[in-house]
Chain A
Amino acid sequence: MSNSATEILVSACIRFLQAYPPFDRMEGEALRFLAEHVRLAHYPRSALILSSEMGVARALYIMQRGRVRVKAGAGLAHSEHSPTNLGPGQCFAIAALMAQRPTSSAYTAAEDVFCYELPASDFFTLTQKSTVFNLFCTQYIADLLKQSQQQLQLQLAQRAGEQRTMNSPLASIVKREPVAVGLAASIRQVVELMAASHLGSMVIVDDLQQPVGIFTLSDVLKRIVLPGTSLDQPISTVMSPVLQTLPMAANAHDAALAMAMHGIRHVLAVDEGGRLKGVISERDLFKLQGAGLRQIRHAIDAASSLEVLQHARADVRQLSLTMLTEGVGAQEITQFISTLNDTVTRRIIELNLDRHDLYGIDWAWLSFGSEGRDEQTFTTDQDNGIVYICTDIMDRELTQLRFLEFARDVNADLDQCGFPLCKGNIMASNPDLCLTLEEWEERFARWVRTPEPQALLNATIFFDFRPLYGRFNLAHRLRLSLLRQTRGNPLFLRMLAQNALAVSPPLGRIRDFVTGSDPDHPGTIDLKKYGVRLFTDAARVFALAHDVEATNTVQRLKRAAAVMNISSDDLAASLEGFNFIQLLRLRHQHFEQEHGRAGDNLIRPEELNEIERRILKEAFRQARKLQARLKLDYQL
């Protein structure tokens, strides 16, 4: 056949594509391949182009003309939250194609639409031919994940916002039609109805439907069973009179007030004619406040015994698991866990201060390691210490003994509350970690001056210290003196950087991932050792080298990036990578614990889906980029 015609059409198609990313950057040969293999299809206005019912995605769609409306599917965690409208040059069904599954969104022609369609097999050839396109697809999926997480957080925040409001009108709280009986009903009828409908209370109304009395489950015992009242008597003989009704427009706060004033547990909502419209119970109001963060925090702050704290700690775990399943981001969850764990720890310290007299001494409780970085996951043990000021050198030993006794009790209590004792004895009850400010400063200075292997290892744990209780300014002084030490010691930083480079991202040359690093667990990747740590180690060097006081990895990277000329795109990509690995860790630990195992950090890449594998690969590439920066900065 005449190929001159094909040639002209293909060239025109290439010219069109070149006006849009990523095709504008695409390699010439790959772009030609794309233009030669697409077919132009038309969809009339309001036609459904692609939806999950159509099965596994069979083509990549590149919009040529018109507008497509996207409706996100029901699946939340991994759905395609792309923009709701697509126009010329935009693509769709990439994620579905990559994962070889049906799309989760529905795509409808908002007006007449012309689309270039590339069959799935040619799509995969193209991803191999073009690194630009491959990168675009990976990035696209990473963006989707980010968007879906943001959306979830937004939803969660909205829900929390709704929960907290005590200003909601009763009309919005009343969920079900009130069940009421007339004055003539017998006790038997009422009790049977309550049992059948699982009601805790029954309202008795007169002929005008106006409430006149209320009868609750607790009345059954006091007014019927104990006195031996006949069940055939009318309910009016045992009901309580209605003391107060509220209009539907009143709000939850009014209801709470009414309950408090009258010592009642139910408030009746009525319309303008005084007719019963709904029953609001104390429990409805409690739910309104949300058994969330505030309750737990309140419970912790008010706890007077270990038992209560143990419960609170279980609540923290439960709530963070819920957050995880609801798709909240890793950074928020780890920070949330750390915050509430801090609260538990503080309360334990306070409870112990009642029994230990530390009055008159300046001191602070320090946390190290992941807790020091605000990055705790579901499985975490204790890493803590004490810093104090000893004005008189003669008193030093005695003071330390007092602190050690106190610390032993706190450590034991923490253990009781779900923070297992540290196997490496990194605890405040260890005399080596219960030191005066000068001793800590001296110790830090020694590690910095002589960066032998053990000193470097210590640096990775202790330099991430954070004050939890007591005089926070002691920790601040310690931080400043540490930064003074490290800033002026390039040798130490170089050694620390070298230490950080000892482990490289488990990216394979041939296969996607290197999974053989641990002979005891073949086929797995340790996401702590070969994942998170790559980021935290690099961030620590950046922070110590650039006077960044923060200990949190995300904060360290953000602040250091500003002075290290790291572009905001690169920074965002690193943070994404770090957070994604954390998220995988959290999810894995959650899964393990659901199945009654101690949560480890070993994941099997083959058990991830295609999208997650790709993002994980990207995350490791980001770690590699941070390491490359270390190599560059310290000539390693």
Chain B
Amino acid sequence: MTWFSRIFSGQQAPGQALTARQQQLIAGWQHLPEADLRRSHYRCRYVVVDVEATGSNVTSDRLCSIAALALVDGQIDFNDAFQLLLADVEQGVDSAPSPAEQPTPEPTVAGPSVEPLIDFLQFVGKAPLVAYNAPFVARMIDDALAEHLGIKLGLPWIDLAWVLPDLFRDANDAQGGLDGWLAHFGVDSIDRHNALSDAFASAQLLQITIAYAARKGFDTPASLHALEKARRHLHQSG
């Protein structure tokens, strides 16, 4: 139950030693108007996110980097991209890549991570978030935000891992995970397993997704979100 306690400790002890300016920036973000999810895919801003962690276990592994790319009006602009490396775990990743050997790090005072995370909030705004394997990515980010900033993101997530098989039912690549989909659509990766590279590849998958979703009548972020929820429900109940 370590993850459980960690969340609570994070939420109850909101960001140690945040400066007044930092608190002001966070408040500013919190007061941003919600995004209108009923606009067309091609008239809104999505943010595609990927993370790198010390491993794939949400309970024990730690976040090392976040990469995010905006898809604005259906297009990717390289200037609208973001990446942050969390300073406190960076060395850990470099020197000991195997998560098994690594002792669970103690939650540390988040001094160096605060500013980049605030930058991340500002980059995201209130845009709907997209990731491949969203629960994992969301958890990693939520944990970090709770721990260092003492806040919840509270934005809708769309999981490409659920949406893609629904839109492309005859594709056999669903089994192959992200790699399978990238191969299916011939999307090249700059540097697979690098968070930014994977976010860029996912953003291209999102471009494909919205194009074909729109043809089937799912032409807004809200409808895409609903599509994903319905499928998840179907599978989990069945």
Interface residues of chain A, those whose CB is within 8 Å of chain B, are 1-2, 4-6, 8-10, 12-13, 35-36, 38-44, 47, 65, 112, 114, 117
Is B212 in the interface zone, CB < 8 Å from A? yes
A36–B79 alpha-carbon span in the complex (Å): 7
Identify which of A2, A13, A38, A112 contacts B119 (C-beta below 8 A).
Answer: A2
Binary contact track B38-71/A, C-beta < 8 Å → 1, others 0: 0000000000000000000000000000011100
Mostly, the A contact residues are mixed
Contact present for A8 and B190 (CB under 8 Å): yes
Residue of B whose beta carbon sits closest to that of A13: B78
Contacts of B181 in A (CB 8 A): none
Contacts of A44 in B (CB 8 A): 208, 211-212, 215
Residue of A whose beta carbon sits closest to that of B206: A42
Contact present for A2 and B83 (CB under 8 Å): yes
Known contacts: A42-B211, A114-B204. The answer to whether A5 contacts B74 by CB under 8 A is: no
Min Cβ gap A32→B in Å is: 11
Min Cβ gap A123→B in Å is: 16
Is B185 in the interface zone, CB < 8 Å from A? yes
Binary contact track B194-209/A, C-beta < 8 Å → 1, others 0: 0011001000100110
Contact present for B208 and A2 (CB under 8 Å): no
Mostly, the B contact residues are mixed
Residue of A whose beta carbon sits closest to that of B189: A12
A39–B68 alpha-carbon span in the complex (Å): 16
Identify which of B68, B76, B186 contacts A65 (C-beta below 8 A).
Answer: B186
Identify which of B75, B78, B119, B123 contacts A10 (C-beta below 8 A).
Answer: B78
Residue of A whose beta carbon sits closest to that of B123: A1
Contacts of A112 in B (CB 8 A): 185-186, 208
Binary contact track B215-227/A, C-beta < 8 Å → 1, others 0: 1000000000000
Known contacts: A10-B78, A41-B75, A42-B211. The answer to whether A5 contacts B67 by CB under 8 A is: yes
Contact present for B83 and A47 (CB under 8 Å): no
A44–B207 alpha-carbon span in the complex (Å): 9
Contact present for A41 and B81 (CB under 8 Å): no
A225–B176 alpha-carbon span in the complex (Å): 92
List 23 contacting pairs A-B, 8 Å CB cutoff, sorted by A.
Answer: A1-B82, A1-B123, A2-B83, A4-B83, A5-B196, A6-B79, A6-B81, A8-B190, A8-B197, A9-B81, A12-B200, A36-B79, A39-B76, A40-B75, A40-B207, A41-B74, A41-B207, A42-B207, A43-B211, A44-B208, A44-B215, A114-B207, A117-B75
A40–B188 alpha-carbon span in the complex (Å): 14
Given A1-B82, A12-B200, A44-B211, 10 other A-B contacts at CB below 8 A? Answer: A2-B81, A6-B79, A8-B196, A9-B81, A42-B204, A42-B208, A43-B211, A44-B212, A65-B186, A114-B204
Is B174 in the interface zone, CB < 8 Å from A? no
Residue of A whose beta carbon sits closest to that of B214: A44
A44–B190 alpha-carbon span in the complex (Å): 22
Known contacts: A41-B207, A42-B74. The answer to whether A5 contacts B190 by CB under 8 A is: no
